[in-house]
Structure 1
Amino acid sequence: MELSTNLRFASSADRTTEDKYDSKYPYERVADAQGNALPVARDYAQSYKDTAGAGYLLDWNYYPLDERKPNRKNAYTDYQLNLGLSYKINSFLKWSINYQYTRNVQQIYSERGVDRYSTRKVINEFSQLNHTTGTVYRPFPLGAILSTSDINTTGHFGRTQLSFHHNTGWHGISAELGYEMRSTEYWNNSKTLYGYNASTASDIPVNHLVDYPQFVTGSTRNIPINSFQDGTSNRYLSYFSTFGYDFKGRYIFNASARSDASNIFGVKSNQKKVPLWSVGAGWMIHKERFYNISWLPTLELRITNGYLGNVDKTVSAVTAASAPLVGSDGVPFVIIQNPPNPALRWEKMNTWNIGLEFSTRNKIIAGTIEWFHKNGVDQIGSSPIAPQTGLLTFRGNTANFVGQGIDIVLNTKNIEGAFSWNTNFFFNLAKDKVTKYLLRQTSPRIYVSNNQQSPMEGKPVNALFSYPWAGLDNEGMPQGWLDGKITKDYSAITSNKDFSQLIYHGSGRPTISGGFRNTISYGAWELSTSIIYKMGYYFRRPVLKNSYLFSTTGVVYKSPDYAKRWQKPGDELITDVPAAIYPVTTNWESFYDYSSVTVEKGDHIRLQNIRLQFNPRLKGSVAKLMRSLVVSGMANNLGILWRANNKGLDPDNPRSYPDPISYSLNLVATF
């Protein structure tokens, strides 16, 4: 009998500021020559801010330089406990039971005091001033806004199995029979307090049901309720069995079967389950008598076929609705998110896999080449529903797709000895196609702007479409193609039901990906670099939007295309950026945003990370205290080495700032 235990604990915390400054105007000054904070224009005209409230209200000005102090703290704590018990009944039969408990706790604490512009602004907007007496009534209380969240995720996993292993020399048999259960409980308790005083840990209650007049506009609105609780509970049961047989170590056969059940499917117990299976065979070619390739001592062929099940937690067999909400009139209501679907089933994936594994002498070169084909059935998708139900669509098992590709892994030992150099190469080619999707759109606009939610049959799940672009006219207006003719009838282009006139670029997700990893070792030191690549896909870049450029709603917008815009006749020959036209018409701006000229190739090569590790050989008293000690440091996301687009955009983040370089230092000691 053997008893094993393992306990893991991890804790971390970080502090950030939620009021991140983003300039709205070019050359916006945030400090004077002496470094003192200056206000910047936000929300309301400066002339109004200088006189509003006659000095009785809080400062309306926004000083970005004074709001750099972190106001949000995130604390993370992870626990993991593993228990195992095994008993060897005889030489070929063994029984074991394992249990794992996990708990993740995240605590978020955000305090926005009156030193924050956003807090002063909302307090002022709800303030009611008596101009005669100078008295200020504040339904939105003076003080900080405190937002906290306690997020707990608890998991239980249990497994018991009976294992059989027996080998007679020529014949080897192995089998397992077992049972698993898993449960995950998620709970989020978030609340917001107003008029908070940290020194006394007190707040001031507010009335959320009253609509208060706004100081600036005179319109009325209520103080928002930003406190809520939500949670999920997921439970799974599985019965499984495996069987394996090998003859002379050359021919291998294996099979497995399992039955999985989840609490989100069906209304009857037999509808919650799904039977899954797989079979496979292997041939150790290098062990055959006829095999005599001395430089390739390992050559193995294998083939497998089977079904996997998947759970989409966004749907349920019973009616799904939002948590009760409260309207401005105080009447509670809910929003139906999905109607009842007692026939809801598991998503299933049938996969064929054929692989070849090989290695040269001393594994100087070793690797695998695998071909796979996947057929996804009963996938979750949207489907039309009778309007008299109160809904137009529902989500259920309405979609199918197929996919296939190749995986290649090559490992090489370039230099061996006290100084060593190893290389790992990874290559993946994967393409997919939607073969069934019941919700067919009547307007091409949906496929162009949101194809991921409404995929088109016969195309990839993440296909990228656009309107055909015909350049600018001599007034800087965008032009498109319709029925073989150049036109500026944007409504006709975007509502045309002839989908064949759309331009299909390809997949919006990489169809080719992989990487190179080089590792150099000398003594206790190890240095490795990782380069990754993504190819064969497209993305839509952000463009200059006049509606944002001329916006008075405070939308922050910056684009290098502003300098490239059409400004005079003849510019249409050198630029594809429309003129800054006012007033803005939505139709042409939408056409330009989703036209083919805004689509770029996403191919790129990235230096992903560099890692340095020190693993000394412990001696003397230190070796008695510790079994091993590893110190390592890593720099991650170091930048793009090459990209196909000439706009300088990061295809992984085309509409936001690139992910910053991150650094980490790790110490792992085993006692």
Structure 2
Amino acid sequence: KLNLKKHNLEAFVGTEIFKDKFENSFLRAEDFTIETPDFMFPDAATGQKTNFGSETAYTLVSFFGKINYDFDGKYLFSATLRHDGSSRFGKNNQFGTFPAFSAGWRISNEKFIEDNFSKISDLKLRAGWGQTGNQEIDNSAIYSLYVADYAGGDPTWNTSYGTAYDIYGQGTGLLPSGYSSIQIGNDNLKWETTTQTNLGLDFGFFNQKLYGSLDYYFKETEDILVLPPYLGAIGEGGNRWVNGASMENEGLEFSLGYRNETSGGFTYEINANISSNKNKITKLPEEVKNNYGGDGGDDNILGRPLGSMYGYVADGLFTSNEELLNSAEQPGKGLGRIRYRDLDGNGIINDDDRTWIGIPYPDFAYGLNINLGYKNFDFTMFWQGIGKVDIVNQLKYQTDFWSVDDIGSNKGSRLLNAWSPSNPNSTIPALTTIDTNAESRFSTYFIENGSYLKLRNIQLGYSLPESILDKYAINKFRIYFGIQNLLTISSSNFTGVDPENPGFGYPLPLTSTLGFNITL
């Protein structure tokens, strides 16, 4: 560390060695004469006994250094360098080097700002560039793996599957086991690398009463680590970890706040934020195409957001015989059934009519936080929401189809409004117990707008005055009452319970809390 007049320099270097080891042992025994825990020792069992175990480990070694420099608190610079090696990667690429740089200019400390713009209390321009590595894969990802599979641990004639085989043709006794391949090794597996560039501006006015920040970022992730599915023609054991696709993220974040206090002692602070992110796949090697959406060929996810949805376009319901006669060939079609759009125009609904039908990322996300105070009372409120986003309402599978013939199950109220000759304007398919129209196929029928605005938290508190606390040697006593998830405003076309949990998970509950804080 060096301080010379207005120059301040700080530097350090270090190294780290980390090892993680996981051991697992399993023992099973059946048929105990005395079935109480006190007598259930493995050697007391008279039936089948099974035991197995496993062990995995990985080691990480790191060398790193950092330099921080500033001049008079105005000009700031920082540089870091990491060199990491992981046993999880192939012998050809175990080490990765990851540099990072950042710089800042505190413009508000410049004399021309202080002399001419006194209302500016903070103004800082900053920029950064850096790389990080990811090694989150299986410890054994680089190896070719084989297992002796006794089909559940039973090396006898009681099993009809696994790798055990009567190689000597004795027809009795224990079976010797062969080995089956479960993974192909990859000595060239290497670090997944993310490179990010940031530009930002922090500002404050009127002695920080008005404050905020603006950030832009561009992030590129290369050599994404993935275990893609493989074609059955490859044969057993075709699993292989690879460095696959590359992806870009680009976004803006903006926050703005204001705080003040009136002459009557009323304090308030309001701050809001909004952000937007755009994502797309920029590289898609042939060997990982099956890991992403699309038809496995030319109609793939390249140039589209990660997790983009691929399926059929539902075009309403068949409501007349004329529509049935003039529509594409669609096995199982009928009145009240879902009509699918014939995108390739060949007059037949098949796999070639699938297309990209949804993006799982919101157009934007936002939040609003309000803090109020008056004398000994305090009040907080936090709102959070997202803009338009495509979500899969999985409950529709249950309410509109599966539950129709479930015995003893609760039914969705949507069934009461299903299509029928007397209810021809319904958008819910006619009730059926046989899915001849393949309506469980993934289509836009299950995709809805998942935008929402939620009142995440609201809380009112009261702190006892010091005149009372001093008598009992208590520094602070605050009692409060709060409610979480009080209100949700969702899109008018969302038919589920909670747009944040559109699957089969339990929706976020409304929670009330009464409590107190004591500081002695």
Bucket of the pairwise TM-score, normalised by the shorter protein: 0.7 to 0.9
Correspondence list, 1:392-407, <5 A: 392-407=238-253
Alpha carbons of structure 1 residues 325 and 667: separation in structure 2 relative to 1, 3 Å: farther
1:437 aligns with: 284
Structure 2 Cα separation of the partners of residues 335 and 522 of structure 1: 72
Q: Which amino acid aligns with 2:99?
A: W
Q: Please show how residues 169-248 of structure 1 align to structure 2 within 5 Å.
A: 169-184=5-20, 233-248=57-72
- 2:101 counterpart of 1:279: yes
How big is each residue's C-alpha offset from its partner over 1:5-46, in whole Å with a ceiling of 9 and x where there is no partner?
Answer: xxxxxxxxxxxxxxxxxxxxxxxxxxxxxxxxxxxxxxxxxx
- Relative distance call for 1:329 and 1:358 in structure 2 (3 A) is closer
Separation (CA, whole Å) in 1 of partners of 2:383 and 2:311: 32
1:470-492 superposed Cα distances (whole Å, 9 cap, x missing partner): 222232222212246596x54x2
Q: Distance in 2 between matches of 1:240 and 1:645?
A: 52
User: Any residues of structure 2 matched to 1:189-588 within 5 Å, and which?
Assistant: 233-267=57-91, 271-291=93-113, 292-314=116-138, 316-319=140-143, 326-327=150-151, 330-331=154-155, 338-382=183-227, 390-415=236-261, 418-439=265-286, 447=293, 456-473=301-318, 474=320, 475-483=335-343, 485=345, 489-490=348-349, 492=350, 495-496=351-352, 502-505=355-358, 507-523=359-375, 525-542=377-394, 543-544=396-397, 548-549=402-403, 551=405, 556=409, 558-568=411-421, 571=424, 574-585=425-436, 588=438
1:299-348 per-residue CA deviation (whole Å, 9 max, x = no partner) reads 11011111011222346443376997642682376886542222221211
Q: Which residue is 2:329 aligned to? A: none
CA gap 1:508/1:502 in 2 versus in 1, 3 angstroms: same
Q: C-alpha deviations, 1:604-662, integer Å up to 9, x for none?
A: 00111234556666647746xxx777776654333413435342531221133312234
Aligned partner of 1:590 among 424, 440, 456: 440
Point out where structure 1 has 5 or more consecutive residues left out of the alignment.
Answer: 1-163, 210-224
In 2, are the aligned partners of 1:257 and 1:277 still within 8 Å (CA)? yes
Q: Residue 588 of structure 1: SS of its match in structure 2?
A: coil
Q: Give the number of equivalent residue pairs.
A: 468
Which letter maps to 1:288?
Answer: E
Deviations 1:121-161 (A, max 9, x none): xxxxxxxxxxxxxxxxxxxxxxxxxxxxxxxxxxxxxxxxx
Does the 8 A contact of 1:184 with 1:234 survive in 2?
yes
Structural RMSD (CA)? 4.1
Q: In structure 1, how many angstroms separate the alpha carbons of the residues matched to 2:127 and 2:268?
A: 33
Of structures 1 and 2, the one scoring higher in RCO (CA 8 A, sep 6+) is 2
Which structure has greater strand proportion?
1
Kept in 1, the 8 Å contact 2:15–2:63? The answer is yes
What is the CA-CA distance between 1:514 and the residue it aligns to?
A: 2.7
SS at match of 2:341: strand
CA distance in 1 between counterparts of 2:144 and 2:207 reads 59
Change (3 A) 1:664 1:345: farther
Seen in structure 2, the aligned counterparts of structure 1 residues 513 and 208 have a Cα distance that, compared at 3 Å, is farther
C-alpha spacing 1:644/1:287, structure 2 compared with 1 (3 Å): farther
Q: Secondary structure at the match of 1:299?
A: strand
Determine the C-alpha separation between the residues in 2 that align with 1:329 and 1:276: 45
Check conservation: 2:142, 2:186, Cα contact below 8 A.
yes
Partner letter of residue 423 of structure 1? I
Amino acid at match of 1:529: M
SS at 1:539's partner residue? strand
Deviation at 1:549, TM superposition (A): 4.0
CA contact (8 A) 1:373 1:402 kept: yes
Aligned residue type for 1:171: H
Supply the AA of the counterpart residue of 1:401.
Answer: M
Q: Provide the C-alpha distance between the structure 2 equivalents of 1:199 and 1:317, rounded to a whole number of angstroms.
A: 43
Q: Name the counterpart of 1:44.
A: none
Q: Indicate how the Cα distance of structure 1 residues 272 and 576 shifts in structure 2: closer, same or farther if over 3 A, else same.
A: same
Q: C-alpha separation between the residues in 2 aligned to 1:549 and 1:254?
A: 60
Contact between 2:106 and 2:123, CA under 8 Å: does it hold in 1? Answer: yes
User: Structure 1 residues 280 and 338 mapped into 2: Cα distance closer, same or farther (>3 Å)?
Assistant: same
1:287 positional shift: 2.4
TM-score w.r.t. the length of structure 1 is: 0.60
Distance of 1:320 and 1:621 partners within structure 2: 70
Q: Distance in 2 between matches of 1:421 and 1:400?
A: 46
- CA separation of 1:170 and 1:668: change in aligned 2, threshold 3 A: same
The whole-number CA distance in structure 2 between the counterparts of 1:421 and 1:529 is 12
Q: Distance in 2 between matches of 1:555 and 1:325?
A: 40
Contact 1:317 1:342 in 2 (8 A): no
Task: List gaps (5 residues or longer) in structure 2.
Answer: 156-161, 164-178, 321-334
8 A contact 1:455–1:462 mirrored in 2? no
For 2:385, the aligned partner's letter is: Y
Partner of 2:325: none
